[in-house]
Amino acid sequence: MEDLKTSETWRVFRIQSELVEGFETLNDVGPAVTIFGSARLSPDSKYYKDATRIAKMLADDGFSIITGGGPGIMEAANKGAKKGKAHSIGLNIEIQSEQTPNKFQDITLTFRYFFIRKLMFIKYATAYIIFPGGFGTMDELFEALTLAQTKKIRAFPIILYGSEYWAGLIDWMKKTLVPNGTISKEDFALFSLVDTPKDVRFLINEHYRVFGGVRPRCKTTKKFDVQCE
């Protein structure tokens, strides 16, 4: 039995178990927005405060909020979701430094495998909001862009929050990737760059109105303006 538990065959059963648990837990959460960002940003950070505000606004609009379940931006978004009384979902990961789930989740899942966790992020997302972050945040951003570029997923808003933080990366893409032909100018239409919670709210609600159905409590009245009952 011990030989089986350490074999690749046994690993398949663990993978299957995580997939089943994820699908069964998240299947009925309704439209959801996934928010990414650094675990290292403190509550004093502007981005932490904005993540809390955005999550509450979207929760008030009827969207569940999904994060990676840890501290920093993830905690901020889960906190905002709780204030807005929507589902506050944390998809935690087992890592060597042992991530501790933040206290603002009402639905918590813990994954052993990054690829299954990433599948859950994107499968149940109506939009991605990418706050400033490190390697993990970049990983999620570029996977989403790749899947959208190759049309492996339906088009949805991929929103980069904080132009000052992302400006250098976007400038490098324009000056290096485009001239070398590794991406095209049209690929910049795959994402949006914004600086205010109001802009985020408008983009997500308007996309959902056009492609997913009118929000039950909200309507867009003019550019970057959303009114909710």
Instruction: Output the tens digit of pLDDT for each of the chain's 229 residues.
Output: 445 456 677 888 899 999 999 999 999 999 999 999 999 999 999 999 999 999 999 999 999 999 999 999 999 999 999 999 899 999 999 887 656 889 999 999 999 999 999 999 999 999 999 999 999 999 999 999 999 999 999 889 999 999 999 999 999 999 999 999 999 999 999 999 999 999 999 999 999 888 876 554 554 444 445 454 4
The strand pairing partners of 111, in sequence order, are: 93
Cα–Cα distance for residue pair 198/168, rounded to 1 Å? 24
* Rounded Cα gap, residues 76 and 72, in angstroms: 6
> For position 1, what pLDDT does the model report?
42
- Locate the DSSP E strands across 37-124: 64-67, 88-93, 107-111
Burial of residue 27 (CB within 10 Å: 0-12, 13-18, 19+) is: exposed
pLDDT recorded at residue 220: 43
Other Cβ atoms less than 10 A from the Cβ of 108: the count is: 15
Which pLDDT does position 5 carry in this prediction? 54
The H or E element spanning position 143 is helix 135-149
Q: Report all structural domains of the chain as residue ranges with CATH numbers, in order of start.
A: 2-191 (3.40.50.450)
Question: Which pLDDT does position 97 carry in this prediction?
Answer: 66
CB 104 within 8 A of CB 59: no
- Closest by CA to 56, choosing from 193, 197, 158, is 197
pLDDT of residue 211: 84
The pLDDT value recorded for residue 219 is: 47
| pTM reported for the whole predicted model | 0.88
Instruction: Supply the pLDDT for residue 224.
Output: 44
